[in-house]
Amino acid sequence: EVQLVESGGGLVQPGRSLRLSCAASGFTFDDYAMHWVRQAPGKGLEWVSGISWNSGSIGYADSVKGRFTISRDNAKNSLYLQMNSLRAEDTALYYCAKSHSVGAGGWFDPWGQGTLVTVSS
Amino acid sequence: EIVMTQSPATLSVSPGERATLSCRASQSVSSNLAWYQQKPGQAPRLLIYGASTRATGIPARFSGSGSGTEFTLTISSLQSEDFAVYYCQQYNNWPPEVTFGQGTKVEIK
């Protein structure tokens, strides 16, 4: 069974940093691209970032470009999101999602259950 | 950036009736479109990819159609478990990004 388990969320002050992790199991991790998608409380889905199987293709939403960095460690079956200069508007549930392909585009299936990030003083 | 616009924002439907949800792209995404269902407190679930292909385990009452800029998700006979929020997503514009619509909430009439 494919499983994605996010961790690393929490309460953080504006301007500070946080690193999210996503532990993957049940599939060959380095055969697939991976993504982060977030959902602010009561709002819709917002794609944040994606990374191809070998980290050769990476993309970011304009809202996080220059502040967030996506990475992966295929040896550890793990995906990461380094979030710097956090703002109140980054408050959201952050989901990790598996792409259907090695390239970073595509549809997402499955999704993890998410980790909550709250940015507040 | 490709903008995805879903309509209506809320759809009130009686159980057993048909629901038709629309998704429009600001420029062509070919057939590179997916639909997701999200219930309260749950992660999104993939329903449709490639505009019209049902994902594994998705009931036949869910169908997708369209290409280019206009897409439709149809639920032929709504069941109680289908009341949820539905999102479309384009994945044509990669790199560097993918984008979601703002969602359509299907509620009980």
The answer to whether B87 contacts chain A (CB < 8 Å) is yes
Average pLDDT over residues B23-38: 96
Tell if the CB–CB gap between B55 and A109 is shorter than 8 Å.
Answer: yes
Using DSSP's 3-state secondary structure scheme, residue B82 falls into: helix
Mutation target for A interface from B46, B97, B100: give the one with most A CBs within 10 A. Answer: B97
Rounded to a whole number, what is the distance in Å from the CA of B15 to chain A's nearest CA? 25
User: Each residue of A37-93: pLDDT tens digit?
Assistant: 999 999 999 999 999 999 999 999 999 999 999 999 999 999 999 999 999 999 999
Tell if the CB–CB gap between B98 and A46 is shorter than 8 Å.
Answer: no
Whether A106 shows a pLDDT value over 90: the answer reads no
